[in-house]
Structure 1
Amino acid sequence: MGASSSTEQVSAEQREAETLAASTGALPMLQKSFSRLSNPETKAIPLTSLQECFCIAFNNAKCETPYVPDYFLQLLDQLGPSIVDLFFVAEKGGISWVEFVRGYTKCCGRMSASMSLGALMSVFSVTTVKVGMPSKLQFESDDADCKISGSLRPNELLVLLWMCWIMTWSSRISKFSNGKLNLDLPDINNLVLSAIVSCTEGGSDLNVWDCDITRLEVQLPAGKIHTWALNTVPNLADCFVQFVHVKLQNTATSESEMEASSSSVSDVSSAKSCDARLLTCGRAWAISLSPRSTIGQEILRVCFPRDGEGSEESLLYRSSLHGKGLNRFWSNIEGYHGPMLMLISASSGNSEGSTNSRRWIIGALTQQGFENKDMFYGNSGNLYALSPVFHSFSPSGKEKNFVYSHLHPTGRVYEPHPKPVGIAFGGTIGNERIFIDEDFARVTVHHHAVDKTYQPGSLIPDQGFLPVEARVLDVEVWGLGGRTAKEVQISYQKREQLFTEQRRKVDLKTFASWDDSPEKMMMDTMSDPNRVNREDR
């Protein structure tokens, strides 16, 4: 077994390997995993056993887009052998304890995001070669932080991103299921288009509104893809790290624990269930790759729901379901104190139904609930361009005009300079980066020059310097505060409903006497307005 007793003499190599693994907190798990996978006689893990550990089991693969390469399923079959060949050195009897721990550290040890991304791209390169597809990626050395050269075509980048998606899918479901489940590949063309626009000189001239990425023959330089991933989807490499960790962790888990956890599995084939939503699985996954926080895990629940934690519980408001308008919106989100994700689908161009109209989706992530204020507020947030191209805009640190949400004042008080009624993100009052009117009928997007709160960039392709006013098609708001925030909101709504019912009740006993009724008082005042009513003492 990997754990050495106190009487055994530990070599310097083993002590160094165990120290690096212990820094990740995974040493006890690795000891259990090695004990279950290794051969007691040779005290080493057979090569085939470790390869099977990283296999991905599923019934069939379905895709939201019509294009799936013929070699894609073969690539998934070769993923396990590629990981073992790259990171685990096999000796005569198999993979020893020291090499097993070293291999884990190469995959999941403490390293920079750039090194993790390099390891991911090397896995993809080796796997494509194994299935007979030539790889144009070149690595100068075997080190994890080596320089990567070469290029990828858009359809190859799509396969790489799908491979990362499947790693996330397998990591999430393997904790709760031992059986094979259906695999749904999401539509992530917005991520591929984002890379094309960022990595090619002619990306700005690309017609992203009507583009078939599978037919594009442009070459995306590996170095620019590396930079794009670090800036736009910094969590992409974590898909590989979590995949390796969870697969080894599952081997260390007893069968009884696996059976107990598998009872909480729901239908993980969730792509169909979210087709009609703005927050599709592909868009939710893209957003989860951008922030460095725990919110990404909450967003992933939309892609991989479980029993008791369904994605519909996180949907707080949808205009097509609850009705358009600020009042309908407020009645559904009031009382929710936690991070929220708001998505706006709009159509800009000519009249409705026109061939020149273009549909796009943008989003805003807030770190707190909405408040009825006539000024900007908030501590942090993100803006997103979700369709047709994905971009993420984090806080710039210059200003803190993150959120603006203002309803009509309850009292009929004269305001010489009334504040706009609606919801906004970024910019200043009157020049908001995003502004939605109170009827949720129109949305206005200004150029990033008016906004110093969020990073600059176009929320809409071909946005230009002039404000873009578009017709709102649908609005969604998702609560990302977990079960606790939802329970607090439910308690708040029940309390408000109780107060409303109490205010509606009329005590008829107070109006039993005509002399005490307000009607008699009003009639007496109208009949003789100059009469002085003496107060009874």
Structure 2
Amino acid sequence: MIYVRPTSLLAHRRQEEEEASAASTGFLPVLRSSFPNLAPPGSSTLPLSSLQAALSLDAPTLTSESTPVPDHFHLILASLGKTLASLIFPKGDDGEIDWIGFLIGYNRCCARMPVSQSVNLLYRLYAALCREASAPCGLEFDPDSDENDKVGGSLLPGELLVLLWICWVMGHSSRIAKMPKGGKDPLVLPDVSHLLLSTFVSCGVVTEDESIWRCDVAGIDKGVSAQKLQTWVLTMVPGLSNCLVRYVQERIRDFSTSAESVSSSDLVSDDNSNGDVHDAYLLTRGRAWAVSLTQREKLSEELSSFQVNSWDLLYRQILSLSSIHGKGLSRFWSNVEGYNSSLFVLVSASSEDSTEHNNPRRWIIGISTAQGFENKDSFFGSSGNLYAINPIFRVFPPSGKEKNFLYCHLRPTIRVYEPNPKPVGLAFGGSIGNERIFIDEDFAQVTVRHHAIDKTYQHGSLIPNQGFLPVEASVLEVEVWGFGGKAAKEKQDAFKNRENLFSEQRRKIDLKTFANWEDSPEKMMMEMVSDPNKVRREDR
């Protein structure tokens, strides 16, 4: 890299400050490697056009799992690199960017900062993209204000949908960039209607839980204010602000080594290009992405890059197809036993409307746990979250007051008298007998209780219009996904092989190990039963 010594002490100090800020993110070596590859040979400055091209993304043909993609969305993605480079990277008098300007631009969006500041930057990027594409945008800015000032205005459902899709594309840019150009499979944007509904309910646009069941988000004619939307992001999906950070880092990292053409082996296709795939499992790409926005580090990465074919589906039960993995707690246990890594459980159930008994309502809840299940008669676990997945998305992290995260108790194989038998089933939160979520032994019924009985997870309704009384519903589907990777699955397979070997050994009977019948205690017991009054003398 060609370095030019700063001409003043002030510039030298500024460079040190910016380098220290970039180093705190662990990305400074990548910046040092990518800058000379972006700059012309022998030059110490970087043309803006070169940076715009580096931050651009050539997206393939687009389609959606649910709502049709607006025409202006293609124009927004086409101007992403140009708009982003012009927004965050300061130019010199000659219209080019030096090393300090390159650091300043990176730190503006990727350095450690409050989430509220990151959301404001995301707002400004979205508004600039909409201006370039002549797309509607209800956000308002004071032209004389600082970039960290509050943003005004509001976003309608269609505008918020585009914003969420932009964040999804930026968060998946590395995979999208490797898709074959001109391929027959389009890029399928996920269904995020549950996030839209969560936004409008949390921000007070949809005020009644009862209306959630019949709410058409696209038909809402009111917008959600920028301030309330920011609060929703902070409390519900803080990872949304990291999508821009991830995009800039991934695009710059591509130039950290000498530019090389992408080989055909590096090209990947979108496994979920078929629009019907999103209905095959409870855990869709849109739902997995929403959950990833609430998680951190590795778990967030694996959820965000959810692909059905690359994940471990440990257990699946469907009411009409119970033969997939079997039905009930015993079949569940045989599939998850020995898997000692992070899991995500989804339960789909149907409950009847209290006012309209012929109107069953289907809902989905989820549970994340950082460890595997154990067969115990008490609660266990160290961390986890509860989720309302559908029709509305909500997250309930631990409260820190209790640690009753998981409960898994199977019926004992040997029947013994128990004065106070523990419930047989699967539970999450609450206490024994008053579980926040309880699934019975047959996986036929799930009971969801009010959050007042639970001190493990934070308060809130898992089901719209839940009320204070326990909600009992019929279980329709159950899925358990493991994201411990190949190593966790191999350890589980080795554990199952050992258990099968021990079981086979216990079944085998070695006749040589048995003593003579005349000397056996079984013969003495039989004689005592037949003639208990017979006098016997112990042989010494």
Q: TM-score, normalised by structure 2?
A: 0.89
Residue of structure 2 in register with 1:127 after alignment: 129
> 3-state SS of the aligned residue for 1:377?
coil
- Whether 1:465 and 2:446 are equivalent positions in the alignment is no
Give the AA of the match of 1:118: N
Residue of structure 2 in register with 1:145 after alignment: 148
- Whether 1:448 and 2:447 are equivalent positions in the alignment is no
Q: What displacement does 1:178 show?
A: 7.2
Residue of structure 2 in register with 1:58 after alignment: 59
Residue of structure 2 in register with 1:240 after alignment: 244
Contact 1:398 1:453 in 2 (8 A): yes
Q: What displacement does 1:17 show?
A: 2.9
Contact 1:298 1:481 in 2 (8 A): no
Task: Say which is worse superposed, 488-497 or 382-391, in terms of deviation.
Answer: 488-497
Contact 1:115 1:145 in 2 (8 A): yes
Q: What displacement does 1:315 show?
A: 1.4
- Whether 1:227 and 2:231 are equivalent positions in the alignment is yes
2:100 corresponds, among 94, 98, 101, to 98
Residue of structure 1 in register with 2:82 after alignment: 81
- Whether 1:197 and 2:201 are equivalent positions in the alignment is yes
Give 1:339-418 correspondences, 5 Å limit. Answer: 339-349=342-352, 356-418=359-421
- Whether 1:297 and 2:288 are equivalent positions in the alignment is no
Task: Say which is worse superposed, 48-57 or 517-526, in terms of deviation.
Answer: 517-526
> 3-state SS of the aligned residue for 2:283?
coil
Contact 1:3 1:31 in 2 (8 A): no
For 1:99 and 1:506, how far apart are their aligned partners in 2?
Answer: 79
Q: What displacement does 1:412 show?
A: 1.4
Residue of structure 1 in register with 2:321 after alignment: none
Q: What displacement does 1:197 show?
A: 0.1
> 3-state SS of the aligned residue for 1:413?
coil
> 3-state SS of the aligned residue for 1:71?
helix
Q: What displacement does 1:177 show?
A: 6.0
For 2:290 and 2:409, how far apart are their aligned partners in 1?
Answer: 30
Check 1:350–1:496 CA distance in 2 against 1; reply closer, same or farther (3 A cut): same
- Write the deviation string for residues 77-125 of structure 1: whole angstroms up to 9, x where unpaired: 1111110111012332522222122111111112111111111111111
Give 1:301-320 correspondences, 5 Å limit. Answer: 301-303=305-307, 310-312=309-311, 314-320=312-318
For 2:140 and 2:6, how far apart are their aligned partners in 1?
Answer: 45
For 1:355 and 1:66, how far apart are their aligned partners in 2?
Answer: 29
Q: What displacement does 1:11 show?
A: 3.6
Q: What displacement does 1:499 show?
A: 1.1
Q: What displacement does 1:8 show?
A: 12
Give 1:169-188 correspondences, 5 Å limit. Answer: 169-174=172-177, 182-188=186-192
Structure 2 unaligned spans of 5+: 319-323
For 1:166 and 1:272, how far apart are their aligned partners in 2?
Answer: 20
Residue of structure 1 in register with 2:119 after alignment: 117
Q: What displacement does 1:37 show?
A: 1.3
Residue of structure 2 in register with 1:483 after alignment: 486
Check 1:514–1:301 CA distance in 2 against 1; reply closer, same or farther (3 A cut): farther
Check 1:197–1:441 CA distance in 2 against 1; reply closer, same or farther (3 A cut): same
For 2:317 and 2:520, how far apart are their aligned partners in 1?
Answer: 45
For 2:30 and 2:265, how far apart are their aligned partners in 1?
Answer: 18
- Write the deviation string for residues 460-484 of structure 1: whole angstroms up to 9, x where unpaired: 1111111111000011111132333
Give 1:23-42 correspondences, 5 Å limit. Answer: 23-40=24-41, 42=43
Task: Say which is worse superposed, 391-400 or 524-533, in terms of deviation.
Answer: 524-533
Check 1:492–1:8 CA distance in 2 against 1; reply closer, same or farther (3 A cut): farther
- Whether 1:20 and 2:21 are equivalent positions in the alignment is yes
- Write the deviation string for residues 221-244 of structure 1: whole angstroms up to 9, x where unpaired: 100000000100000011110000
Alignment: residue pair count: 528
Check 1:533–1:508 CA distance in 2 against 1; reply closer, same or farther (3 A cut): farther
Give 1:242-321 correspondences, 5 Å limit. Answer: 242-255=246-259, 259=263, 262=266, 265=268, 267-269=270-272, 273-303=277-307, 310-312=309-311, 314-320=312-318, 321=324
Q: What displacement does 1:273 show?
A: 4.4
Check 1:30–1:178 CA distance in 2 against 1; reply closer, same or farther (3 A cut): farther
Contact 2:344 2:366 in 1 (8 A): yes
> 3-state SS of the aligned residue for 2:162?
helix
1:162 corresponds, among 147, 160, 165, to 165
Residue of structure 2 in register with 1:423 after alignment: 426
The two structures, once aligned, show a CA RMSD in angstroms of: 3.2
Q: What displacement does 1:435 show?
A: 0.7
Give the AA of the match of 1:218: K
Contact 1:2 1:97 in 2 (8 A): no
For 2:270 and 2:392, how far apart are their aligned partners in 1?
Answer: 29
Q: What displacement does 1:158 show?
A: 1.0
Check 1:441–1:400 CA distance in 2 against 1; reply closer, same or farther (3 A cut): same
Q: What displacement does 1:407 show?
A: 1.1
Structure 1 unaligned spans of 5+: none
Check 1:356–1:112 CA distance in 2 against 1; reply closer, same or farther (3 A cut): same
For 1:381 and 1:112, how far apart are their aligned partners in 2?
Answer: 24
Q: What displacement does 1:485 show?
A: 2.1
Check 1:6–1:188 CA distance in 2 against 1; reply closer, same or farther (3 A cut): closer
Q: What displacement does 1:302 show?
A: 2.0
Give the AA of the match of 2:33: K
- Write the deviation string for residues 382-405 of structure 1: whole angstroms up to 9, x where unpaired: 100000000000111122211111
Give 1:321-336 correspondences, 5 Å limit. Answer: 321-336=324-339
- Whether 1:218 and 2:197 are equivalent positions in the alignment is no
Q: What displacement does 1:268 show?
A: 4.3
For 2:447 and 2:194, how far apart are their aligned partners in 1?
Answer: 22
Give 1:453-532 correspondences, 5 Å limit. Answer: 453-507=456-510
Contact 2:187 2:270 in 1 (8 A): no
Q: What displacement does 1:293 show?
A: 4.3
Q: What displacement does 1:508 show?
A: 6.0
For 2:219 and 2:402, how far apart are their aligned partners in 1?
Answer: 43
Contact 1:2 1:34 in 2 (8 A): no
Q: TM-score, normalised by structure 1?
A: 0.89
Q: What displacement does 1:151 show?
A: 0.5
